[in-house]
Amino acid sequence: MVQQHKLEKAFAVLGAIAGILTVCLQFVLFINSRTTSIGEVFIRFFSFFTILSNIGVGICFFANAFTAGTQMKFWKSAAVKTALLVYILVVGIVYNVVLRSLWEPVEWQKLVDEMLHVVMPLLFLLYWWWFAPKINFKWSNMANSLWYPFVYLIWVMLRGAFSNWYPYPFLDAFNHGYEKVAISSIVLLLVFGFLSILFFWGSSIKKGTPVKA
């Protein structure tokens, strides 16, 4: 048990460092390539689901690596870890299936892209599989986890309607129209729903003693 705890902490330390450095480096690159005001850059940077999800994963790793007891207990929750896993896996899936072919990053941006969309999703999947505790399956946990992508989608569409800027091409109603965006959004929410069912149910059958979510 002690060895398992040490291994989990080491894994979480690695994840926290990798996650924090990656997001910070992406922010620097984003600032350096800006074509608009600093205020707008901040808003746009934190409008990417990729960035928000990687920040969430980084905080979760940090909480489990560097805090004890009930400190930052929200981020240590089995249900929160499972929800974060769904979010970060969607990041990886959408990028590698839909977005990767749309541009060719180079140098530091290429490294950061791989970290955000491949390394961090896989790292958190391994962490969840090996160390996240088993939980009793509850539909409410799964349903609650879907509020975040739903609210995110509403925010992006509302802001985009006024600014004509969208973080992802498949959400760009200005160029593609609301009908195509609506179809893309429904497909995306179905992916979230499917993965939520898969991993919340999967969490309930993992080895170990069930805990409260």
Whether residue 43 is contained in a domain is answered as yes
Average pLDDT over residues 157-175: 93
CA 39 remoteness from chain centre:
23
- Mean pLDDT lowest among 2-11, 35-44, 149-158: 2-11
Whether residue 55 is contained in a domain is answered as yes
Average pLDDT over residues 43-50: 96
CA 210 remoteness from chain centre:
25
Whether residue 131 is contained in a domain is answered as yes
Whether residue 210 is contained in a domain is answered as no
Q: What is the DSSP string of 89-145?
A: HHHHHHIIIIIGGG----HHHHHHHHIIIIIHHHHHHHHHHHHSPPB---HHHHHHH
> What is the per-residue pLDDT for 6?
84
Amino acid sitting at position 168: Y
Q: What is the DSSP letter of 34?
A: -
Whether residue 63 is contained in a domain is answered as yes
Amino acid sitting at position 96: N
pLDDT per residue as tens digits for the range 58-76? 999 999 999 988 889 999 9
Percent over 90 (pLDDT), the chain = 69
- Mean pLDDT lowest among 4-8, 39-43, 59-63, 79-83: 4-8
- Which residue has better confidence, 84 or 209? 84
Whether residue 181 is contained in a domain is answered as yes
Average pLDDT over residues 164-172: 94
> What is the per-residue pLDDT for 204?
77
What total number of domains does the chain contain? 1
pLDDT per residue as tens digits for the range 95-133? 999 999 888 888 999 999 999 999 999 999 999 999 887
> What is the per-residue pLDDT for 208?
56
Whether residue 211 is contained in a domain is answered as no
Average pLDDT over residues 8-35: 94
> What is the per-residue pLDDT for 193?
93
**What domain range is 66 assigned to?**
2-205
Q: Helix 120-131 crosses helix 49-66 at what angle (to 10 degrees)?
A: 40
CA distance 86 to 80: 10
Mean pLDDT of all residues in the chain?
Answer: 90
**pTM (2 decimals)?**
0.92
Whether residue 18 is contained in a domain is answered as yes
